[in-house]
Structure 1
Amino acid sequence: MRKITLYVDADACPVKNEIRLIAGSFGIEPVFVASYASFSQNQESKWVYVDQRKEAADLYIVNHAFPGDLVVTQDMGLAGLLTGRGISVISIHGVEIEERRVPEILHRRYLAYKSLLAGRKIRGPRPFTDENRKEFSDALTKLLCRLVH
């Protein structure tokens, strides 16, 4: 049986430490994918650096993830590309993205973009809290329990 690979769309990911700790407890070494702009000598775990082009990290993940793998991202376009291929996706808020929900999620994103282009103000993301970290950690642990066992 092939071991699960956990990929992280890491450039703006606020839960890198949680991922590293939780994945490690399951014997999984996460693969953090980020642009060269995020390079640091002090990073633990496995890091893959890609160009700074807008979709470079997404393309790396799409080209390297296989059915049964897990991806952490807040990019719903990337989630849409992965879920139909048997790859589990979880958001930084601990929401598992299911294939059947992707069209609705992408449609809402499209409507928000249209509103923004029309000059309407839209709310930005709320600040990421300790409660959000706990919700993500709990959801990631549950998901890994299901995928690994």
Structure 2
Amino acid sequence: MTVILVDADACPVIDPTIKVAKEFNLSVILICDTSHYIEREGATTITVSKGSDAVDFVLVNRVQVGDIVITQDYGLAAMVLAKKGYAIDQNGRLYTPENIDQLLFTRHLAKKIRESGGRTKGPKKREKESDIRFEESLKRLCNDVLLI
């Protein structure tokens, strides 16, 4: 049975995720570390020890074939795809085998620029349209996954 797993630390779309999950009768598991206390009705919360990538490792170890993961982390998304799961970001962009290599390479380049003293642009301020776009994209993904 498909489950929605959320990389919940700093995730701005927890409530819309739970709303969509209810429509599709899917379980939601929020995974966060001890520096974030996140609890929502309609979701199970797993809190893990603080540590570099601690949430990512717990999440990827729970992913089963066909599960949906919500994350902003390209590296985690790549591991989810390798386990035959589906990954989507907070703006509704699907991570796919066709785009993940480019996203990881772009992240690598940005890190190199920052390490050499350069600056990279941060994300734009989140707008209401982003939540709407995310919700529509998650609904399409849930529908596609459940039809498979």
Amino acid at match of 1:65: V
Structure 1's unaligned 5+ residue stretches are: none
Q: Which runs of 5+ in 2 are unaligned?
A: none
What is the distance in 2 between the residues matched to 1:110 and 1:12?
22
* Aligned residue runs from structure 1 range 30-109, under 5 A: 30-39=28-37, 43-44=40-41, 45-109=43-107
1:102 offset after TM fit, Å?
A: 1.4
RMSD of aligned alpha carbons: 1.1
Q: What amino acid is aligned across from residue 28 of structure 2 in structure 1?
A: P
Q: Percent identity at matched positions?
A: 27
TM value normalised by structure 1: 0.94
Question: Which residue matches 1:6?
Answer: 4
Partner amino acid, structure 1, of 2:40: Q
- TM-score, normalization by structure 2: 0.95
State the aligned residue count. Answer: 146
In structure 1, how many angstroms separate the alpha carbons of the residues matched to 2:54 and 2:24?
A: 28
Cα distance in 1 between the residues matched to 2:91 and 2:62: 24
The structural deviation recorded for 1:148 is 1.3
Match of 2:131 in 1: 133
Deviation by residue 1:36-72 (Cα, 9 ceiling, x = unmatched): 22125x5322100001112111001111101111100
2:137 & 2:69 partners in 1: Cα distance?
13
Given that 2:63 and 2:83 are in contact with CA atoms closer than 8 Å, whether structure 1 keeps it comes out as no
CA distance in structure 2 between the partners assigned to 1:106 and 1:121 by the alignment: 18
> 1:109, 1:89 → 2: CA distance?
17
Partner residue of 2:14? Answer: 16
Mapped partners of 2:132, 2:44: distance in 1: 23
Post-superposition Cα deviations, 1:112-131, rounded to whole Å, max 9, x if no partner, equal 01111111111111111101
List, as ranges, runs of 4+ consecutive aligned residues in structure 1 with deviation greater than 4 Å: none
Counterpart CA distance in 1 for 2:79 and 2:97 is 9
Cα distance in 1 for partners of 2:61, 2:55 equals 10
**In structure 2, what is the Cα distance between the partners aligned to 1:13 and 1:105?**
19
